[in-house]
Amino acid sequence: MVSCRWSLPPQGRDSCLDLAGRLGVSELTARVLVARGLSDAGEARRFLNPSLNDLLDPSLLADMEKAAGLIRTAIRAGRKIMLYGDYDVDGAASAAILVRFFTLLPYPVEVYLPERFREGYGLTRVAVAHILERRPDLLIAVDNGIGAREEIAELKRHGISVIVVDHHHADGGAVPDADAIINPKRPGDPYPDKDLCAATLAFKLAWALARGFSNSKKVGAAFREFLCGAVGMACLGTVADVAPLRGENRVVVSHGLKALGAAPCCGIEALMRVGRLDGRRPTARDVAFVLAPRLNAAGRMESPSDALELLLCDRPERARELALKLERLNRMRQKVEAEILEAARQTVLDEASVRGSLPPALVVGGEGWHRGVIGIVAARLCEEFDRPAVVVAFSDGVGHGSARSPEGFHLARMLAECAGDLLRSGGHSLAAGLTLRRDRFEAFRRNFEEAAIRRGAGSPGRARELPIDAIASLAELDRKAVDEMDSMAPFGEGNPKPVLAAMGLQVRSQLRFLRDGKSFSFYAMDEACRAARQAVAFRMADRADELAKAAASGPLDLAFQLSASNVTGEVELHLVDFRPSASAAGTVTA
């Protein structure tokens, strides 16, 4: 771990004092809210107290009413409806929401989740052939379909109506000729919140259908109960797909976590028990690091149908069997992932040694690598080396790849610039997938690196930035401050836990290493206010000598997240970064 470039907030105080008074919070909390663009009291109050009433009307989405009308017509006519999803958590959760809604009506639907290894992502030709064999009258594609122009045209030629419920970018802006497309990212859609995942869009579709069947904007009691539970499924998809926790996503996750904790479905309850989360309300971190990996393990290692069955299961014994199976698959995934990560990382280091430096973007591939884990490996490489990373698994002359990127590069656009090397690509700004022939790998690597260079990757001036939410004195950091920082949860993409900074501190104790050997703690003193707090540097043992030497030379500035000890309840500073204080170093830039 290396020190970052700190980005300090503006120091204006009057607006913070006014906001603190209006909200009844400390000035420190008001400073954090202002730093995050929440200077308006009404907007800040909605942020701190997210309400389901803050969700936008589903009819604001283009084609929403059209899609709901098509589905109601199909139901009244007794037509065959098929749901086509995806093999990840968002795809499975999307399908589960709609299946449970149709069960509530009740109306039978057929569900089809593609196999990652046999069919690949999206509405492929293989999937189309499978769908044509089953002859549905209406296909609802969830978490995919926006790029399947030829495939949807083929389905329509056979008389199948198609509704697309997707959140991915349309390749080149062109959308398929589906009967209805629900996607806030589609060109021309005026919907203000563009960051919804597929599961939330499925939730919105269920909401619109519930209103239609209730003949009122106010849904009936059974539908209302269903939607209050379904927001938990939407929460799973939102967190697992790393959607930014702003706007509607914050509302969905905040209330979804409550739903998962208060009345989880039988399958989620079993999965929480296996993941040792039973007995308490899960956090967004629990979803990201406990529930989502186990649900994803089904599609990564075998079949996504196990994850979907778990989300739909209402029998405790069967739910336990499925949860234990997902636990086994997840452990298998971890083992395979570790092996491929080591090989990929060594390839990166070996190539860097030959070149004399790391390339601006990392592109590695291996024969027979497991396709189910390459996305995670790409994410690990991206995180460690702070640059775009592509990991490709080759088999029979064809490579299937996953790409991950830090902020500022937009992978989907970078891959579009390499279209001549690829058979297929698609995704988001920070995550994408691709397919290419083995003989185009080196050309793709060169072109992808050039696309990264055009965006500043690998340039000497690029440094990892650490946004600081507020500068604080140690005297401000009491239990009330801890509680107020926690009130800004759920934390995740787009809403990280606040990072505070305290300036000019003295280290007043020896560094004490914790049992794990990777972490250490010490006491820091703020001489100006005569206050001291314990700082804990988790997994920062590699910087212990650096901190000790810097502390011996003078005061330090510490960047940290505020917390309370699980054992003593004492306020702790969980260290994020440190640097020699400007008062000692003379000129330390923000």
Q: What is the pLDDT of residues 450-501, one digit of tens each?
A: 999 998 876 655 567 899 999 999 999 999 999 999 999 999 999 999 999 9
| Residue 501: CATH number of its domain | 2.40.50.460
Cis peptide upstream of residue 106 (ω within 30 degrees of 0):
yes
| Beta carbons within 8 Å of 545's beta carbon, 6+ residues apart | none
Mark whether 119 and 213 lie in a shared domain: yes
Taking alpha carbons only, the member of 123, 121, 131, 127 closest to residue 158 is 131
| Residue 374: CATH number of its domain | 3.10.310.30
Do the domain assignments include residue 28?
no
pLDDT at 540: 95
Do the domain assignments include residue 574?
yes
Mark whether 212 and 90 lie in a shared domain: yes
Which residue ranges in the chain fall short of pLDDT 50?
A: 584-590
Give the pair of three-digit tokens for residue 50.
């997210």
Mark whether 147 and 108 lie in a shared domain: yes
Do the domain assignments include residue 260?
no
Mark whether 65 and 173 lie in a shared domain: yes
Do the domain assignments include residue 27?
no
pLDDT at 464: 76
Taking alpha carbons only, the member of 580, 579, 582, 574 closest to residue 522 is 574
Q: Domain boundary at 454, 478, 504, which?
A: 454
Q: Domain boundary at 424, 454, 484, which?
A: 454
Mark whether 144 and 203 lie in a shared domain: yes
Mark whether 449 and 473 lie in a shared domain: no
Do the domain assignments include residue 270?
no
> Domain span at residue 405?
358-454
Separation of alpha carbons 474 and 307, rounded Å: 47
pLDDT at 589: 38
Separation of alpha carbons 172 and 218, rounded Å: 39
**Biggest CA-to-CA distance, the chain:** 80
Do the domain assignments include residue 439?
yes
Q: What is the pLDDT of residues 74-112, one digit of tens each?
A: 999 999 999 999 999 999 999 999 999 999 999 999 999
Mark whether 432 and 567 lie in a shared domain: no
Neighbours of 353 (CB within 10 A): 10
End-to-end CA distance of the chain: 19
pLDDT at 345: 97
| Beta carbons within 8 Å of 530's beta carbon, 6+ residues apart | none
How many domains does the chain divide into? 3
* Helical (H) or strand (E) element with 530: none
Separation of alpha carbons 470 and 502, rounded Å: 9
pLDDT at 118: 79
Cis peptide upstream of residue 136 (ω within 30 degrees of 0):
no
Mark whether 60 and 155 lie in a shared domain: yes
Neighbours of 215 (CB within 10 A): 9
pLDDT at 586: 36
pLDDT at 105: 96
Mark whether 95 and 182 lie in a shared domain: yes
Separation of alpha carbons 453 and 425, rounded Å: 20
Q: Domain boundary at 199, 225, 245, which?
A: 245
Do the domain assignments include residue 70?
yes
- Identity of the amino acid at 306: D
| Beta carbons within 8 Å of 164's beta carbon, 6+ residues apart | 141, 144, 145, 146, 152, 176, 178, 180, 181, 182, 183
Mark whether 240 and 210 lie in a shared domain: yes
Mark whether 441 and 493 lie in a shared domain: no
Do the domain assignments include residue 3?
no
Mark whether 89 and 134 lie in a shared domain: yes
**Whether 200 contacts 72, CB under 8 Å:** no
Separation of alpha carbons 8 and 590, rounded Å: 6
